[in-house]
Amino acid sequence: MEKRCPADQSELVSQGKAWACPTCGAHYRVQGHCMDCGAEMERLQACGASNWFCPQCNELKSRTRVRTSLARD
């Protein structure tokens, strides 16, 4: 996923779990959607590992089965 601000195409800067645009000041978060059912997924992080869980399918998904995008906070 490209880390560029949708508003002005500046490169985004990481701020923990969020991303910020240094030019316009907008804040974004990474949002995942299940490629099987389209539901918004939950990101699970523990012990350095990151996984995606689909509440609609009720299962963990490989990152290859997740469509990610930036959502403005």
Cβ pair 34, 66 in contact under 8 A: yes
Check residue 2 and give its pLDDT.
62
Domain boundaries, the chain: 13-72
Whole-number Å distance between alpha carbons of 42 and 39: 10
What pLDDT does residue 1 have?
A: 54
> Which segments of the chain does DSSP mark as H helices, in order?
none
* pLDDT on residue 47: 84
Q: What is the pLDDT of residue 24?
A: 92
pLDDT along the chain (73 residues), means of 10: 83 89 92 95 86 95 90 88
Query: Can you name the CATH fold of 13-72?
Result: Rubredoxin-like (2.10.290)
Q: Is 37 helix (H, G, I), strand (E, B) or coil?
A: coil
Residue identified by tokens 């316009």 is 24
> Bridge-partner residues for 30, per DSSP?
70
pTM of structure: 0.73
Q: In what order do the strands lie in the sheet with 18-20?
A: 13-15, 18-20, 27-34, 66-72
